[in-house]
């Protein structure tokens, strides 16, 4: 255990290192260095992570929230030792950093959710004490309603009533009344015709983040650990409800990592997750560029990377993926395919610039070993440059031609007007 900032510590167990907020009793983040070794049939030897050193920072501003830790990874059986450098974002030590990340006991009980009543009250209350009591009463009612609905949602899943789950979950989140019964054929037909709905901050119900996490867990299987090997229940896929959840800002972070891989067999949901699901890690998005053959999905990923992550972050993450692929810890990462697709679709040159940083960090390491690949990249890039140059020159010629045509047209118009004036003058003096 090592302190990293005020009220925040790093702890390690097995091959996992976790960042804990002691004030709010929250797990801010964790990293398993050898998650693959825990998979069935894995031949990778497990290692023990031991914290060596971590500079303490204030952790109360954007400049003082970053630090790092040195971690010793060892395996006594095989006499293997290695030191890893891990970058750490301590957060700002505020409540919002800990929301939805509270530490929970291992005992499984009925979840209790905080009721979120409307804070807008009328002038009917004469004093703050009465108003506070009324707000607490509303909170209790909202909490009981949420717990009751969650139990109903679990029952619907157990009975595999996908359509009813779809309708009722969306209606509850949208704060709407849903009276569709399982025997109401008309209601079912109307429900089928409804369009997919998305989160709307002005209209939707304010809910406990823990409740959102529990609802997502009814759709996404995380039995092997919430951070790894997510999968979608084949027998229970409420597409409308899950589409809505993918647009919700409280979509739990523990289900975001690995979500794109879990949705590989569901292209529509995959695109929805790429475009709207919050907290999708940069590494998952870049890995998706390597595995997808769908041009629309490729462009969606490019757009999100450009809008959400810095060039440095993309470059560092790509370099990390190359290292993981070389070590056999992930499936083959094909940087050549990504570059080829960028050049072929003419989309994502901002990402190409991120791959090639000021020192050529990624591409120099990847391509310098293969002169053929480097020559191929140079040729494709040069062809693009030549094409753009030719288009620019052609545009300049067309523009110049249009300008000359306008000048000639204007000159002819002036001559015509002058001729008309002279003709009128001659007519007045009787020459015509």
- Chain Cα centroid distance, residue 403: 48
Residue 209 vs residues 151, 200, 277, 281, 287: alpha-carbon distances, Å? 17, 16, 15, 20, 28
Number of residues that this document lists for the chain: 432
What is the reported pLDDT for 363? 52
Residue 38 — pLDDT band, cuts 50, 70, 90? Answer: low
- Domain positions in the chain: 113-265, 373-432
Does the structure show a pLDDT above 90 at 194?
no
What is the reported pLDDT for 128? 66
Residue 77 — pLDDT band, cuts 50, 70, 90? Answer: confident
Does the structure show a pLDDT above 90 at 187?
no
* Average pLDDT over every residue of 28-43: 72
How far, in Å, CA of 417 to CA of 402, rounded? 22
What is the reported pLDDT for 185? 41
| Nearest one of 303, 368, 370, 310 to 342, comparing CA atoms | 303
Q: Show the tokens assigned to 44.
A: 């990778």
By the 8 A CB rule, do 92 and 65 touch?
A: yes
Does the structure show a pLDDT above 60 at 40?
no
Residue ranges in 232-360 assigned as alpha helix (H): 239-245, 259-262, 267-276, 282-291, 295-308, 311-326, 335-345, 349-355
What is the reported pLDDT for 353? 74
Does the structure show a pLDDT above 70 at 364?
no
* Average pLDDT over every residue of 353-371: 54
* Average pLDDT over every residue of 402-419: 77
| Nearest one of 363, 358, 285, 355 to 315, comparing CA atoms | 355
Residue 94 — pLDDT band, cuts 50, 70, 90? Answer: confident
More confident residue, 109 or 248: 248
Instruction: List the beta bridge partners of residue 184.
Output: none
Q: Show the tokens assigned to 177.
A: 């009344």
pLDDT digits (tens, 9 = 90+) for 126-149: 566 776 777 778 888 888 899 999
pLDDT digits (tens, 9 = 90+) for 382-402: 888 888 899 999 999 999 888
Q: What phi and psi, each to the nearest 5 degrees, are found at residue 72?
A: -95, 120
Whole-prediction pTM value? 0.59
Residue 161 — pLDDT band, cuts 50, 70, 90? Answer: very high
How far, in Å, CA of 217 to CA of 157, rounded? 11
Does the structure show a pLDDT above 90 at 98?
no
What is the reported pLDDT for 191? 43
3-class SS at 20?
Answer: strand
List of residues 6+ apart from 146 with CB closer than 8 A: 113, 115, 207, 208, 211
Q: Show the tokens assigned to 248.
A: 């919700």
3-class SS at 25?
Answer: coil
Give the DSSP H/E element, type plus range, for residue 83: strand 80-89
* Average pLDDT over every residue of 48-65: 90
Determine how many CB atoms are found less than 10 A away from the CB of residue 103: 12
Does the structure show a pLDDT above 80 at 181?
no
More confident residue, 65 or 427: 65
Strands 16-21 and 231-232: unpaired
List of residues 6+ apart from 321 with CB closer than 8 A: 283, 286, 287, 290, 330, 333
How far, in Å, CA of 246 to CA of 199, rounded? 9
Does the structure show a pLDDT above 50 at 190?
no
What is the reported pLDDT for 369? 53
pLDDT digits (tens, 9 = 90+) for 268-326: 999 999 999 998 999 999 999 999 999 999 999 999 999 999 888 888 888 888 888 87
Does the structure show a pLDDT above 90 at 216?
yes
DSSP-derived secondary structure letter, 74: E
Decide: residue 153, CB within 10 A, 0-12 exposed, 13-18 middle, 19+ buried.
Answer: buried
């Amino acid at each position: 255990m090592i302190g990293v900032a005020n009220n925040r510590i790093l702890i390690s167990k097995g091959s996992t290192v976790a960042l804990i907020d002691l004030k709010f009793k929250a797990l801010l983040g964790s990293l398993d260095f050898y998650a693959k070794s825990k998979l069935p049939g894995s031949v990778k030897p497990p290692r023990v992570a031991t914290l060596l050193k971590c500079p303490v920072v204030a952790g109360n501003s954007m400049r003082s929230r970053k630090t790092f830790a040195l971690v010793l990874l060892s395996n006594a059986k095989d006499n293997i030792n290695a030191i890893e450098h891990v970058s750490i974002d301590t957060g700002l030590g505020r409540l919002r950093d800990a929301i939805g990340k509270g530490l929970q006991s291992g005992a499984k009980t009925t979840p209790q959710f905080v009721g979120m009543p409307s804070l807008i009250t009328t002038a009917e209350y004469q004093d703050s004490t009465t108003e506070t009591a009324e707000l607490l009463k509303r909170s209790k009612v909202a909490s009981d309603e949420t717990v009751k609905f969650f139990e109903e949602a679990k029952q619907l899943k157990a009975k595999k009533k996908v359509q009813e789950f779809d309708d009722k979950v969306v209606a509850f989140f949208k704060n709407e009344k849903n009276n569709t019964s399982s025997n109401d054929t008309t209601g079912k037909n109307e429900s089928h015709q409804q369009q997919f709905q998305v989160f709307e901050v002005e209209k939707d119900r304010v809910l406990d983040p823990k409740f959102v996490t529990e609802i997502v867990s009814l759709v996404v299987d995380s039995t092997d650990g919430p951070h790894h090997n997510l999968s979608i229940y084949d027998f229970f896929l409420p597409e409308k409800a899950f589409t809505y959840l993918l647009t919700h800002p409280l979509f739990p972070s523990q289900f975001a990592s690995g979500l794109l891989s879990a949705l590989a067999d569901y292209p529509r949901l995959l695109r929805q997750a790429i475009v709207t699901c919050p907290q999708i890690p940069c590494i998952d998005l870049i890995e998706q560029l390597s595995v997808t053959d769908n041009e629309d999905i490729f462009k969606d990923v490019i757009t999100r990377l450009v809008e959400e992550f810095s060039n440095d972050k993309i470059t560092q993450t790509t370099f990390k993926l190359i290292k993981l692929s070389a070590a056999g810890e992930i499936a083959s990462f094909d940087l050549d395919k990504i570059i080829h697709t960028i050049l072929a679709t003419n989309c994502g040159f901002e990402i190409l610039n991120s791959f090639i940083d000021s020192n050529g960090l990624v591409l120099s390491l990847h391509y310098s070993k293969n002169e053929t690949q480097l020559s191929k990249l140079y040729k494709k890039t040069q062809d693009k440059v030549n094409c753009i140059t030719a288009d620019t020159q052609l545009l300049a010629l067309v523009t110049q031609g249009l300008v000359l045509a306008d000048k000639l047209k204007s000159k002819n118009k002036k001559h015509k007007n002058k001729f008309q004036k002279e003709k009128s003058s001659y007519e007045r003096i009787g020459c015509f």
